[in-house]
Structures are given as structure tokens and as C-alpha cells.
Amino acid sequence: MQQTEIETAFAELVENITGTQPARIDRDLHLDKLGLDSLSKIDLAVAAEDRFGIAIPDEDLERFVVVGDLLDYVHRTTA
């Protein structure tokens, strides 16, 4: 999957869960700045799993700090 395609789809998922405008989302944004705590991060992970058809285990999810970490994971795993 293309990086830009992932970014667009991901921004939609974030908007659905947190209400954050896609324009505000960039790679360096901290996930907790999106208002995501350890549980709402799971909402995002499950939505991303369904959207991209990949598994995002808890232990990987715990390591993601900024938006780019998640995007890179999706890019790697769907490659």
C-alpha cells in the first residue's frame, strides 16, 4: 500500500474516533495529543486492523509514540 494512501485512510480513522481534523494530523504528532489513552488507542488499532487487514498486537501498540510510528508499522506490514 502507498504511503499517501495509508496516511489518508489513517486520518479518516483518527477523525472517526477522536474528532481530530485530518489537516491537524501529521507524522510527528504524539498519539496522546490526539486524546488517545491506552484504551482508546485500542479503538484506533482495531479500526486500523479492519481497514488495512493487518494485526496490530498490544505489544506493538504500546510502543507507538507518534502518528508516524503507527503509519510506518502499517506500511511495513501491508508491504
Partner 1 sequence: MAKTFRIAIVGGGIGGLTLAVALRQRGMEADVYEQAQELAEIGAAVALSANSTRELRRLGMGDALATVSTEPGELIYRNWRDGSRIAAHPVRENMNYQQICGAPYYGIHRADLQRILSGALGGAGLHLDHRLTEIRDLGGAAGLSFANGRTIEADLVVGADGVRSVVRRFITGGDDTVYSGTSAFRGIVPVDKLPALPDPGAIQFWMGPDAHLLHYAIGGNADYVNFFAVVEYPKVWPHAEKWLDSIEPGEAAAAFAGWHPAVVEMVAQHLPVRWGLFGTRPLLNWYRGAVVILGDAAHAMLPHHGQGANTTIEDAITLAELLPGTALDGLGPMLAKYQSLRRARTRKIQRSSWITNSLLHLPDGPQLAERDQRVTRFPEDFGWIHQFDALQTAHDATHTQRHPAPPHA
Least distance to partner 1, CB of residue 58, Å: 6
Report d(CA 34, CA 4) in Å as an integer.
Answer: 20
> Quick one: which of 58, 66, 76, 77 has its CA closest to 14?
66
Question: In the window 10-69, what residues touch partner 1 (CB under 8 A)?
Answer: 38-39, 42-43, 45-47, 49-50, 54-55, 57-58
Interface with partner 1, residue 9, by CB under 8 A: no
Q: Which is nearer to partner 1, 16 or 24 (CB)?
A: 16
Report d(CA 4, CA 15) in Å as an integer.
Answer: 17
Note the residues at the interface with partner 1 (CB under 8 A). 38-39, 42-43, 45-47, 49-50, 54-55, 57-58
